[in-house]
Amino acid sequence: AAEAGGREMAAWARAVRGLLLDISGVLYDSGGDGGVPIAGSVDAVRRIKASGLKLRFCTNETQATREKFVKKLQGMGFDISVAEVTAPAPAACRILKERSLRPHLLVHNDLVPEFAEIDKANPNCVVIGDAAENFTYANLNEAFRLLIGMEKPVLISLGRGRYYKETDGLKLDVGAYMKALEYACDVQAEVVGKPAKMFFESALAEMGVPPQQAIMIGDDIENDVGGAQRCGMRALQVRTGKYRSVHSLHP
User: Which pLDDT value is given to residue 183?
Assistant: 98
- Ordered domains of the chain (ranges, CATH): 11-60+195-249 (3.40.50.1000), 89-191 (3.40.50.1000)
User: Cα–Cα distances in Å, from 60 out to 8, 10, 144?
Assistant: 33, 31, 23
Phi-psi region of 216 (alpha: psi -120 to 50; beta: other; left: phi over 0): beta
User: Which pLDDT value is given to residue 250?
Assistant: 38
Alpha-helical regions (H) of 63-207: 66-75, 88-98, 137-148, 174-185, 197-207
Is pLDDT above 90 for 113? yes
Burial of residue 80 (number of CB atoms within 10 Å: 0-12, 13-18, 19+): buried
User: Which pLDDT value is given to residue 11?
Assistant: 57
**DSSP code per residue over 5-18:** HHHHHHHHHHH--E
Q: What is the pLDDT of residues 42-77, one digit of tens each?
A: 999 999 999 999 999 999 999 999 999 999 999 999
User: Which pLDDT value is given to residue 43?
Assistant: 96
Structure pTM? 0.84
Phi-psi region of 119 (alpha: psi -120 to 50; beta: other; left: phi over 0): beta
Q: Is the peptide bond before 195 cis (omega within 30 degrees of 0)?
A: yes
Alpha-carbon torsion, ordered 74, 80, 82, 87, to 10 deg: -100
Q: Are strands 190-191 and 155-157 parallel, antiparallel or unpaired?
A: parallel
User: Which pLDDT value is given to residue 60?
Assistant: 92
Distance CA 173, CA 165 (A): 10
C-beta separation of 30 from 164 below 8 A: yes
Q: What is the pLDDT of residues 125-180, one digit of tens each?
A: 999 999 999 999 999 999 999 999 999 999 999 999 999 888 888 899 999 999 99
User: Cα–Cα distances in Å, from 231 out to 50, 100, 244?
Assistant: 27, 28, 24
At 247, the pLDDT band (50, 70, 90 cuts) reads: very low
Q: Quote the DSSP letter at residue 149.
A: T
pLDDT over 90, % of the chain: 77
